[in-house]
Structure 1
Amino acid sequence: MHNSPTLCQLYVDVALQPLRRQMPHTIIYHYMDDILLAQKEQFTQTQIDFIIRMLAEFSLVVAPEKVQRSAPWRYLGWTITDQRITPQKLDIATEISTLHEAQKLLGDLQWLKPVVGIPNDLLSDLRPLLKGTDPCTPVALDDHQRQSLDKILHRIATGFVARWDSTVPLSLMLWASQQHLLGAIVQTVKKTGEIQVLEWLTPPLQQRRTISPKLLQLASLIKKGRIRTVEISGMEPATIHLPMERDTLDWYLINSAELADALLTSGATVAVAPKALQWIGEWNWIVRPLRREKPIARAITAFTDAGKRSRRAAVVWKVRGKWHQQILEAHPDDSLQTLELLAAVWVMSNIWEPVNLISDSLYVVGFVARIEDASIKEVENKRLLDLFLQLKRAIKDRTNPYSVIHIRSHKWEVGLGEGNARADRLVMASVEQVATSLASAREAHGLFHHNVKGLVRQFNIKMTDAQAIVRACPVCSQHNGGLGLGLGVNPRGLKSNEIWQMDVTHVASFGRLRWVHVTIDTFSGFMWATAQAGEKALYVIRHLTSCFALMGVPRPIKTDNGPAYVGGKVNRFLDTWGVKYITGIPHSPTGQAVIERAHGMLKRYISKMEEQSDIHTKLAKVLYVINYLCVFGEQKEPSAIRHQAGINREAPTEEVWVRYRDPKTGVWQAPAKVLYWGRGYLCVSTPSGTLWVPSQWARPANVPGKHCQPGTEPSAE
């Protein structure tokens, strides 16, 4: 039992079950082997003997000297009298020197909060002591923290809660300090009218949200108090006292769904102006915020914007028909979001008249709208925390109302869009107007990782400069240098959608969507891929449908002999679309060389986009880069442009004739016209249709009418 508190707790609970059944009106608490029994009448000796006997049946022996029959009762660190509950004399170590001691001190204080009523205002002063992960980290109390700790110790020495009188209804009373809230479950003494606290309530010291408006904390504390009151008495509180004036309460009930839900579902009487607590010191009313939900008439309208590249923020506003502006330089730790926030801080600190703040940043609009009376959670970004505090301080010092409005940027330049456009031009104007093509190429490659030829075409830079950019990239330097997809030696289409190749590759990082179905047009090199949950016919048809919607409908599709491809369901689907289906040689990957190389390239680009976490977003970005930005092999333009053109704009304008060896018979044939050639192969026009042959099996033919005897190899000319 000594080594297993859980087993001890469970064993004692089993031993108490007969007592609970025999004494249903007795409250029985236990923590391991410390047992508290309470009832309305005094315990008789017969009852005590019965309790001792029942526990003895489970080998639990009760020492007579440990039975407490009269006040004061001491149980689990508390002293219980007929009227009140106080903590027993505690030995709290106030001289702390390490992080471990600070954590122990704060833990003890949290345990005492419900009884002695320690407000979060005092505990928040001690929270900075908890920073760090090493228990031996040295810590020291400054003068302000020592004063706060002295006040806490005074509360521990003098604080108490009263015993519950079941004949008097419970009420919920709430107070507000400048930063925090404090609540209590109370009863009113019938004869004297004295308010007695049964239990203190406080919001969490560390809020979950970065910005927690005081009204949301108030609504949450009301719900917490209602739940606790029901746990104590089985009924909702009779009265809820709020620290606000009646007009303010009426306004919040109309404009705050959270407060209305917390109050109106309880059935309690709502009262204002709770009794003041002298020991809290300064306490405040919750007042109506200065922020207005709707734009303020005849107010100054200020537009803010920020530039990531320029490292500046701008504010523009119009007074008596004349535009004014303010440029703000970035702090070294500023990001785009903190720059936007910096502009909002400037507006609140410098435009004291009623103002409508308009920003194209939802981030800023959301924070400005909630920060007026909110608690601010400490964040790791010190610059962001500093701006939050500046913004809250600036709003607190205001006397005139303000409104904050979000506007979509770059939509128009009339009306409100004019001011937004002016601010946008100010931050853009600070960028170097003549950005070099190399700098633009480096920036674009850092985002998309497209290959050398794609950089040359898009930014009109030298091939050597593009190669240097790709090789200097820490991502692309680990791959193939951005060379990408070669032309291949398989028979290819001579125009868009003439021949497709399709296959499935596996990308382990995609998890349950690791089966990536890939289709490529052999003429243009345009590729489309979808991440599916398997290789069955259902997923093949789903992939093909998306391909048809994007690329068009091909004449034939060439695949391997996979079970889904040769099944009747896929064949019937292709017949419906009028697509001819071709399979390769079983277990031979060479017939699918173009698609096999496409798999390798697709996986390389997927590995380059590690910053994207969403699977579909990552795959879509990779396909955009491959199809619209990269230029592969002997092509001179991206695959998407070739596919949309539909014909080979790079085909030779002059007729070229060759004699060729038939791959089936090995016999040299009469001169034929060359339709297309590539690296190591060419396509010729024969009486039976087009034929693809290796370039080593072709010889130039000067005159189309000049014939050689079939079967003889032409001489070199």
Structure 2
Amino acid sequence: MVNNQMQPMGALQPGFPNLNMIPKDHKLLVVDIKDCFFSIPLAPADRQRFAFTLPVLNNAQPTERYQWVVLPQGMRNSPTLCQHFVNLALKPFRQRHLEVICCHYMDDILVAAQDISMELLKDLTSALTDFGLCIAPDKVQQTLPMLYLGHKLTQQAAIPVVPQLSFPARLRLVDLQQLLGHLNWIKNYLNLPTSTLSPLFSALQGHKLPGEVIPVTEEMLQALQQVNALLRDRMVDRIDTLHNVQLSLAIFSTPLLPTAILYSQKSAAPSGVSIVEWIHLPHTPPRNIYSSPAAVMDLPAKVLAKMFKIPIAQARDIVSQCSTCSKARTMIPFDAVNPRGTSPLAVWQMDVTHTPLLAPFSKVHLTVDTSSGFIWATPLKGETARHVIQHTLRCFAVMGKPQSIKTDNGPAYISSQFSSFCDLWNVKLIHGLPFNSTGQAIVERAHLTFKTLLSKQLGGRNAPSAEIPSIVHTVLFTLNHLLYPHNREYTPAEIHFRKAEPLARPLVSYRQLPDPTWHGPVPLISWGRGYAAVDLDGRPTWLPARCVRPWRASASEVKAATSHTSPSLADVAFLQP
């Protein structure tokens, strides 16, 4: 109960001291504090918080109630308080002997000096006694080799004491985790690059239960054999002296990740250097720092050329060298022949698709504005009317409120609950023809585009649950703010949210098959690859692109035809076949 209410204080020391930084010409003394936890008193005001009751068999007599008066073992902050209390006890000793190296971790103390006399030991004992701490007489070590914090101290080096490592008959996840814990502890003393241990760390992937059996591969056996071979050799040295010591850092380009050594050149070692510590990067970095959008998302050549002001040929070379970007081209879902809105927020298409990459949020509700191409997606656990309404509200918050929403005939979309929701928001709800997927072609293409970019972003792996929102938002940012649809000079976000006055509409001639007669002139509303929309009696009429062509007339006819509309554009060369 106390641990549940107690705020963790955290460790006061981030790790063990490097014992190879103790010079070879120093003598050593190792002591251990006897019953350290039970020698640290609790504050009288806090003792009542650590009261406990001893039960009695069959309630035959009254129970006895006690309270801790010393630091209890098992309390969350007991190790931190122990470190702090012992440090307070050693502080006067350190101040009186500035030339002495005094290391301590919990209740283990190491003293190193040019000469360790009985007076120094008595002074250390007196400093601890003043705080109620006592040295265990049977734990005092004054001759080499010594044992301290799992290390064996010799005249030449301090090395960890590790038994021969091996796999059990049935390797469980907890066994592999314990083995890797030992390796993480000893790798700073060995020439053990991260690439050597990569098969062992990679075996952790895909396993969650502690008792889950992990198959042992040949690569794992070879890695463990190499570790055992390295344990037979000493690969570190204690520094010679603290006087004018110069430590250097050397970095080597090893496979997978670089390796470094901390060494001293003033050494009598046969190699001419004394290696104090091996430095290896973790197999999985704790965090990634990105300085470029290209490191976060996959950018096509046109975006690279525009963002970094480089030639398009150079941008294509960069994209072709990327193993992810060159796998598949990202298609922008704005070229299908499908009725669409003539302005942002006119017509939305909405649908739901499934992707196991985002499990358990595998039901991705997706909405696309049929005019601007702006896409918004919400990964959810279901596809009921409640989930559809939740996704629609998020779209309203990001994209605005549309005039109409077009969906298929799924149960959630034709439900009375969603219909009432649309009526409440004054949004017209339109359903396509049953079993006709072409009516939802724009959003179906958006599904493919979203999944393609999501697969690139994840590299084929499943997304961790905690990272799903950030991954989905990264994909949406790429689609809406970085990619340029076919024959457009602006991104979907720029088209969707821009407030500039629309350009004047050019005049065109048109024909409606099977009638071969050309009519016109009429204003052109929209045009794309394979489709066009013209203004007939104030309403958009969608036609195949081959049924629309520039209207050629005299200047007087153009002026008369456009007196009730916006001035026509003089340059309509983009409609030329």
If the length of structure 2 is used for normalisation, what is the TM-score? 0.49
If the length of structure 1 is used for normalisation, what is the TM-score? 0.40
Structure richer in helix, relative to its length = 1
Q: Which has the higher contact order (CA 8 A, sep 6+)?
A: 2
